[in-house]
Chains A and B, each alone.
Chain A
Amino acid sequence: MSIIAVNGITKTYRQYRRFPGLIGSVRSLFTRQYTEEDAVNNMSFTINEGEAVGYLGPNGAGKSTMIKMMTGILVPTNGDIKVLGVVPHEARKANAQQIGVVFGQRSQLWWDLPVTDSFDLHKYIYKIPDSAFRKNLELCMSLLSIHEFVQKPVRQLSLGQRMRVEIAMALLHEPKILFLDEPTIGLDVMAKDQIRRFLRTVNRERKVTIVLTTHDMKDIEEICPRMLVVNKGSLVYDGSVEDLRAKLGSERKVIIDFRVDPGLLDIPGITLLQDEGIRKTFLVPRGESTVFEHVSRIASQYPVEDASIESLDIESVIRKLYLQLASEEQPISKIG
Chain B
Amino acid sequence: MTLLLFSKLVRLLLKEKMEYRADFVLSAFAQIISYAGDYIVIWLFMKQFNSIAGWNWPEIALLYSIGLFTYALGASFSFVQMSGLEGQVREGTFDTLLIKPVNPYLYLISRGFNLAYVAHISISGTVLIWAIAQLNLQWSWTDYVYLLLALISGAMIHAGLLTAIGATTFVWVRTGYLFSLFFQLKEFISYPLPIFGTVVQLLLTVGVPLAFVNFYPAAFLLSYETSLIPHWAKWLVPLAGPLIYGLGYRFWMYGANKYQGAGG
Contact = CB atoms under 8 A, between A and B. Distances in A.
A223 B102 CA distance: 31
B260 A108 contact: no
B135 interface: no
Interface string A131-171: 00000000000000000000001000000000000000000
A106 B93 contact: yes
B12 A117 contact: yes
A134 B112 CA distance: 28
Interface in B77-99: 91-93, 95-96, 98-99
B221 interface: no
A160 B57 CA distance: 61
Interface stretch (B1-9, B32-40, B63-71, B123-131): B1-9
Interface of A is mostly: mixed
A101 B100 CA distance: 9
B8 A89 contact: no
Given A92-B98, A103-B92, A125-B5, A110 B12 contact: yes
B234 interface: no
A97 interface: yes
A93 to B, nearest CB: 5
A101 B12 contact: no
B15 A117 contact: yes
Contacts of B257: 75
B12 A72 contact: no
B197 interface: no
A94 B9 CA distance: 22
A96 B102 CA distance: 9
Contacts, number: 72
B93 A74 contact: no
Contact of A124 (B4, B15, B96): B4
B101 A113 contact: no
A14 interface: yes
Contact of A113 (B8, B12, B98, B262): B12
A101 B97 CA distance: 11
B176 interface: no
Interface in A82-120: 89, 92-94, 96-97, 99, 101, 103, 105-106, 108, 110, 112-113, 117, 120
Given A103-B95, A106-B91, A106-B95, A93 B101 contact: yes
Nearest to A100: B99
Contacts of A72: 98-99
A48 to B, nearest CB: 22
Contact of B8 (A14, A96, A124): A124
A73 B20 CA distance: 34
Contacts of B101: 93-94, 96-97, 125-126
B56 to A, nearest CB: 46
A252 interface: no
A65 interface: yes
Interface string B1-28: 0101100110010011001100000000
B263 A11 contact: yes
B260 A106 contact: no
B8 A120 contact: yes
Nearest to A155: B19
B66 to A, nearest CB: 35
A71 interface: yes
Interface in B178-228: none
A79 B28 CA distance: 52
B230 interface: no
A112 B260 contact: no
Contact of B100 (A13, A65, A120, A125): A125
Contacts of A126: 100-101
B12 A68 contact: no
Given A113-B15, A121-B8, A96 B263 contact: no
A96 B104 CA distance: 12
Contacts of A108: 96
B19 A121 contact: no
A124 B11 CA distance: 13
A72 B101 CA distance: 11
Given A11-B263, A74-B263, 5 more contacts: A71-B99, A73-B260, A103-B95, A125-B107, A153-B19
A-B residue pairs, 3 tightest by C-beta: A96-B101, A97-B101, A101-B99
11 contacts: A65-B263, A75-B257, A75-B260, A93-B102, A96-B100, A103-B95, A106-B91, A106-B96, A112-B16, A113-B12, A121-B12
